Structure formats: structure tokens, C-alpha cells
Amino acid sequence: MPDIRLLVDCKTNLGEGPVWDVAEQRLYWVDSTAGEIFRCLEDGSEVQRFYLPTFIGSLALRETGGAVLAMADGFNFFDFDTQRITPIYNPFADRPEYRFNDGKVDRKGRFFAGAMGLDFDPLDVSKPKAPARNGSLFRLDPDLSVHELETGLICSNGPCWSPDDRTFYFGDSEHKTIWSYSYDIETGRIADRRLFASDQGFARTVDGATVDAEGFLWMAKVLGGQIIRYAPDGSIDRVIDFPLRNPTSVNFGGSNLDILYVTCMGRPMRGIPPTHPNAGGVFAIHGLGVQGLPEPRFAG
């Protein structure tokens, strides 16, 4: 049985995007709607918090130091020492109904991040169904050029790659679906979208994901209170019942890359206050018998 432990009782509103950095031996994550970045050591000690002026979807560490951020106002650099933000490019300048959401870096140092419609709210069934949108998946290259790779999205989530870099996984929480694409690691291009897994259950949807060293995809099922491990063919290999209903994202870390870190949502759900005392915390799952892969740093 896996051992699930509270790591940091940070009570995030919308905890997202855990990233374990091998070089620093630190865990990073964000509170998306509060506009905050957190980091700590493997055991949850030495917690630090950094404040941002707007929503943040995801972050990646840079090879040259600091971070690249996918925020409501586009791609930005961030200096942890000075807390200075340097704009790169805002693809939403003419689409104010969007902000960035989940993002990750490939093993050539490119940062992928997708859009989220600001009116998308899976927690409020009193709202009408989100209208059709044209949100996109973007790739930020080390030369700081920005490329649009996919369109027609509402709430993008779960970008990650197979260990051989030949498959890219990416999902949309509104569609409750994650797709796989053929991936060209030399160019950063995606092609041949196909269904990988779909979960059309009413009370859950797809969220953040990572791929382990064996090529299996781990995904948080927000609203469903589960962590799912999918085999490379899309079949369910393992289900972990999580103590909170709203896990949002996962990433392997720790000195041996064998701890699964899980962020959570602490915001009220359909108007009902969270009942779990550790809502919004970050958790660590030990004893899975699986190792993850190092998260690359952005090369720009």
C-alpha cells in the first residue's frame, strides 16, 4: 500500500504544477489563482513563497537561473533573488478571455504551455456549459520564439512526454480527454493526434500528469479523489484513492525520484467549504516502487 503523507500545509486556493528540480533538490509549485510560487526541500522544510501580480498557470526552472512563467499576461521570466518579472511575449493580448494553465519542458529545453478559458469552472454546475472556445497550446523555444501548436481548447492540462521522446501527451479538462501525439524531439513538432484515455464520469475530470521511467502516465483526477497510472496503451494499470477529492497535478521527485508529489485544490467546491483539514496542501506518496524522470530546465 502506498504511504500518503501531508508534506506542506500551505492551504493553496488552486495548487498546481509541482516541479522537482534535480539540481537544487527542491520542489516547486504554484497557487494558480492566488498568483504565488512556493518551494521547499524534499521533506517539506524551508518553505518559501513568492508573490506575483496575476494568475500563474505553470513554471519551469531555467538553465541560466530563475524561472520561466506561464501567466495570465503571457510568458515571463522571473528572478527569485530580486523577484523581478521580465515579459517575453503575450499570445493572449487579443484574447483576454484566456490565461495560461499547465506547462512543462521537453528534453531539448522547450517550454510547452496551454490555455484555459477564464469562464471554465468544473466546480460550479449552476453555470451553463462553457461555450466553444479557441484556446491554444503554445511552445516557447530557447530563442524566445513562440509557436502555436494546437487550437480549439477550453482547459488544457497534462503535457508530458514518453521516455523515448517519441510521444507527447496532452489533455483538455472540459473534454475529459487526454490525447497522444507523435513527437519530433529535434523540431518540437506534434502530429497525428489520437485518443489516449477518456473519463466521461460526471464527478471527475483529467488534470495534471507526468510520465515515469517505465513509460506509464500518472494523472490526477480532480473532483474524483484519485491518482491513475495508465499503461502506454491507455489502459488503467493502477488506481490510488487519494484522501482529498481535489488532487490537481503530480510529479516525481526526491533524491531517488521515487516520491510522487501531489498538489491539491483548496477552494470551496460548488459553494461547499472544504471539509478536509489539509485542503490545498501538498502531499507526498511513498512506496510506489516506481521512479520518475528528471524534469528538464528551460534552455532560454
Is 99 annotated as contributing to ligand binding? yes
Contacts of 32 (CB under 8 A, 6+ apart): 13, 14, 15, 16, 17, 55, 56, 57, 101
Known binding residue 76? Answer is: no
> Is 31 known as a binding-site position?
no
Active site residue 79: no
- Residue 122: how many CB atoms within 10 A of its CB? 19
Spatial separation of the C-alpha atoms in residues 27 and 150, rounded to whole Å: 29
- Indicate which residue of 102, 207, 212, 258 is catalytic: 207
246 is in an annotated binding site: no
User: Is residue 207 part of an annotated ligand binding site?
Assistant: yes
The response to whether 26 counts as a known ligand-binding position is no
Element (H, E) at 184: strand 177-184
Burial 222-238 (b: 16+ CB within 10 A, else e): bbbbbbbbbebeeeeee
**Binding residue numbers for substrate:** 99, 101, 119
Give catalytic residues, as residue numbers. Answer: 207
**Binding residue numbers for a divalent metal cation:** 16, 157, 207
**Binding residue numbers:** 16, 99, 101, 119, 157, 207
